[in-house]
């Protein structure tokens, strides 16, 4: 049967029961949507918008829109289970692509698995579970990390003012953990977060020993301090990123 | 005959289109571990498999598996919807709902997102909470960053404070959690890779011994001796709270 069944008279068949029941979300469109668009639900206004790898804040998804609607109209979004369409490659995993499309090219949002050329089993997998305020290491520049891999829920710890009305951290300056040499930070535990310290290098004072009373040439006066040396333990550079919403 | 939105359905009951589109297949029948009230957000305890009331007021109750339809007393079966359409009243449309106190839903963000209200009477359940990492994961948390929601840390994580873990649901029950966050001195830890975990080492400061060079015929008053003064070993750092996944 076609979904949604809103007249109470359609026949429920095996496909419906096995894969589609309970996965439809009826939600207001925040912009014009086209049937087949991958969409996400905006956390602030609760409306559906087109997912898009072309815009950092749009790299996320909650489902696929089943109808073409104008902004302000309601649309059914299938969030999980069997989605019937056309033009798929069977036995292939699909990811979010540009402008609401799904793509076999990897990105940061896995949409589902194509069982055949017409059946996509939606099971969205994206990095959105960690609590806000989680910091983790990311190998942003490792060879073959997919393009558009970094989804809308995370931000680099770049010391910049963070503007995002969906985030409880909106308007604040994020910690600068990845910046210039002075702010390339190691993470250290404490019972409270946010303190800073340490230095890239250090030197030592020298103790003057006792002598036996025999004068030495003036140039034998030792320096007050040693030369400078690094404080760095062995390290591997990562990009620290923070969960912001 | 069960009414629209009323569960559990019996054989030959009518299935309504709203139920078909939104709710079917998402309901778990589970024994109540305490008295529960219809509309309570509940979680399933990992050690006894029963349903308990979720609650931001108690650290171990900051988690959710669904919303209960009926009001079973302890020991009786409850019907819990875990995902999809839940019909209720008094919601604010187009709003995300989070776990609140004592089983309630709240529009105030907490560590457990319950779902999305599409109207004043319909909540689309899609619980998102920080429960996917494997036990033993350690990660950094900005506990004190301004704007971090209250009740943000779920029951699945503890701070690495050197405490004894008392939690029957955890395979780490009874063990001492690593002390990575101590307030002062030696136990504020950086993390370092190894093929096996748990080793410790390093120090916050150090000094160097001084080798005395060969004599030039006098033993000067100014010849350095013994060791240098101490200096910090700490590289530039930012303080985080290390937390560990325990169940």
Per residue in B156-210, pLDDT (tens digit) is: 999 999 999 999 999 999 999 999 998 655 689 999 988 889 998 888 888 888 7
Using DSSP's 3-state secondary structure scheme, residue A218 falls into helix
Q: Do A8 and B16 touch (CB under 8 A)?
A: yes
Both A60 and A165 in one domain: the answer is no
Domain membership flag for residue A4: no
Task: Of A92, A108, A104, give the one whose Cα is nearest residue A146.
Answer: A108
pLDDT for the residue B103: 95
Q: Does A226 touch chain B (CB under 8 A)?
A: yes
Both A148 and A173 in one domain: the answer is yes
* pLDDT band of B136, cuts 50, 70, 90: very high
What is the C-alpha separation between A138 and A240, in angstroms, rounded? 6
Last residue of a domain, one of A107, A125, A143: A125
Question: What is the number of structural domains in chain A?
Answer: 2
- Min CA distance, A25 vs chain B (Å)? 7
Q: Does A123 touch chain B (CB under 8 A)?
A: no
Both A66 and A117 in one domain: the answer is yes
Q: Are B161 and B177 in contact (CB under 8 A)?
A: yes
DSSP letter for each residue of B20-40: HHHTTT-EEEEEBSS---TT-
pLDDT for the residue B204: 87
DSSP E strand stretches across B4-101: 27-31, 41-44, 51-53, 66-68, 77-81, 83-87, 95-99
Of A24, A41, A191, the CB nearest to B21: A24
% of chain B with per-residue pLDDT over 70 = 88
CB neighbour list of residue B195: distance below 8 Å, 6 or more residues apart: none
Both A244 and A131 in one domain: the answer is yes
Chain B 30-69, residues with CB within 8 Å of chain A CB atoms: none
CATH number assigned to the domain comprising residue A90? 2.40.300
Contacts of B202 in chain A (CB under 8 A): 233
Q: Does A192 touch chain B (CB under 8 A)?
A: yes
Q: What is the DSSP letter of B19?
A: H
Contacts of A8 in chain B (CB under 8 A): 16-17
Both A238 and A134 in one domain: the answer is yes
pLDDT for the residue A231: 87
* pLDDT over 70 at A202, yes or no: yes
Q: Do B236 and A79 touch (CB under 8 A)?
A: no
The gap between the terminal CA atoms of chain A, to the nearest Å, is 37
pLDDT for the residue A25: 86
Q: Are B23 and A22 in contact (CB under 8 A)?
A: yes
CB neighbour list of residue B207: distance below 8 Å, 6 or more residues apart: A204, B227, B228, B229, B230, B231
Q: Does B20 touch chain A (CB under 8 A)?
A: yes
What is the C-alpha separation between B148 and A231, in angstroms, rounded? 32
Residue with tokens 């011994």: B209
- Of A15-29, A48-62, B114-128, the range with the highest mean pLDDT is A48-62
pLDDT for the residue B212: 64
The structure tokens listed for A85 are 């369409």
CB-side exposure of B156: number of CA atoms within 13 Å? 24
Residue with tokens 């916050």: B204
Both A119 and A131 in one domain: the answer is no
- Min CA distance, A19 vs chain B (Å)? 9
Can you say whether the dihedral through the CA atoms of A87, A89, A93, A99 is positive or negative?
Answer: negative
Using DSSP's 3-state secondary structure scheme, residue A81 falls into strand
Last residue of a domain, one of A81, A100, A125: A125
Q: What CATH architecture does domain B17-128 belong to?
A: Beta Barrel (2.40)
Backbone angles phi, psi at A203, to 5 degrees: -135, 170
What is the C-alpha separation between B134 and B160, in angstroms, rounded? 16
Both A113 and A140 in one domain: the answer is no
Both A20 and A77 in one domain: the answer is yes
Burial degree of A224 (CB within 10 A; 0-12, 13-18, 19+): exposed
Comparing alpha-carbon positions, the chain A residue that sits nearest to B229 is A205
Q: Does B239 touch chain A (CB under 8 A)?
A: yes
Helices (H), chain A: 14-15
Both A99 and A146 in one domain: the answer is no
* pLDDT over 80 at B73, yes or no: yes
Task: Of A200, A207, A202, A234, give the one whose Cα is nearest residue A223.
Answer: A207
Mean pLDDT of B211-216: 59
Domain membership flag for residue A147: yes
Per residue in A46-84, pLDDT (tens digit) is: 899 999 999 999 999 999 999 999 999 999 999 988 888
Domain membership flag for residue A9: no
Q: Are B139 and B98 in contact (CB under 8 A)?
A: no
Per residue in A220-233, pLDDT (tens digit) is: 556 677 888 888 88
- Min CA distance, B96 vs chain A (Å)? 7
* pLDDT band of B225, cuts 50, 70, 90: low
Contacts of B111 in chain A (CB under 8 A): 131
* pLDDT over 90 at A14, yes or no: no
Last residue of a domain, one of A95, A125, A155: A125
Q: Do A22 and B22 touch (CB under 8 A)?
A: yes
Q: Report domain extents, chain B.
A: 17-128, 130-247
Give the residue numbers spanning the domain of A72: 14-125
* pLDDT band of B226, cuts 50, 70, 90: confident
% of chain B with per-residue pLDDT over 90 = 62
What is the C-alpha separation between B184 and B203, in angstroms, rounded? 13
């Amino acid at each position: 049967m076609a979904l949604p069944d809103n007249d109470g008279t359609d026949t429920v068949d095996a496909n419906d029961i096995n894969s589609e029941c309970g996965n439809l979300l009826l939600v207001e469109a925040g912009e014009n949507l086209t049937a087949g668009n991958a969409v996400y639900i905006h956390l602030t206004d609760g409306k559906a918008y087109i997912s898009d790898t072309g815009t950092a804040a749009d790299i996320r998804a909650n489902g696929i829109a089943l109808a073409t609607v104008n902004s302000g109209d309601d649309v059914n979004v299938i969030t999980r289970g069997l989605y019937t369409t056309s033009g798929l490659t069977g036995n292939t995993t699909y990811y979010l692509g540009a402008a609401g499309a799904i793509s076999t090219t990897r990105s940061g949002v896995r949409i589902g698995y194509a069982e055949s050329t017409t059946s996509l089993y939606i099971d969205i997998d994206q990095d959105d579970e960690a609590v806000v305020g989680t910091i983790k290491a990311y190998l942003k520049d490792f060879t073959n990390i997919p393009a558009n891999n970094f989804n809308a829920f995370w931000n680099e710890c770049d010391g910049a003012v963070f503007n995002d009305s969906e985030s409880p951290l909106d308007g604040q300056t994020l910690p600068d953990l990845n910046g210039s040499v002075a702010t390339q930070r190691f993470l250290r535990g404490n019972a409270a977060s946010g303190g800073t310290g340490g230095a890239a290098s250090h030197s030592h004072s020298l103790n003057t020993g006792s002598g036996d009373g025999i004068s030495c040439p003036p140039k034998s006066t030792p320096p007050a301090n040693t030369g400078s040396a690094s404080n760095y333990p062995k390290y591997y550079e990562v990009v620290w990123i923070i969960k912001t919403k | 005959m069960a009414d629209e939105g009323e569960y559990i359905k019996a054989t030959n009951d009518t299935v309504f289109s709203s139920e078909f589109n939104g709710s079917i297949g998402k309901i778990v029948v589970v024994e109540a571990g305490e008295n529960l009230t219809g509309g309570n957000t509940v979680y399933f305890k990992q050690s006894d498999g029963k349903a308990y009331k979720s609650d931001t007021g108690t650290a171990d109750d900051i988690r959710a598996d669904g919303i209960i339809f009926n009001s079973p007393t302890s020991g009786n079966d409850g019907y819990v919807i875990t995902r999809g359409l839940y019909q209720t009243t008094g919601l604010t449309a187009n709003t995300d709902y989070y776990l609140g106190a004592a089983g309630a839903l709240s529009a105030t963000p907490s560590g457990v997102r319950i779902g999305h209200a599409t109207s004043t009477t319909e909540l689309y359940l899609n619980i998102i909470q920080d429960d996917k990492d494997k036990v033993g994961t350690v990660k950094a948390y900005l506990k004190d960053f301004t704007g971090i929601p209250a009740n943000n840390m779920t029951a699945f994580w503890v701070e690495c404070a050197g405490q004894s873990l008392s939690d029957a649901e955890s395979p780490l029950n009874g063990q001492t959690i690593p002390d990575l966050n101590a307030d002062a001195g030696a136990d504020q830890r950086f993390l370092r890779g190894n093929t096996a975990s748990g080793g410790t080492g390093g120090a916050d400061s150090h000094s160097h011994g001084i080798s005395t060079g060969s004599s030039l015929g006098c033993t000067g008053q100014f010849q350095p001796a013994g060791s240098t003064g101490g200096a910090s070993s700490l590289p530039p750092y930012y303080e985080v709270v290390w937390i560990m996944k325990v169940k």
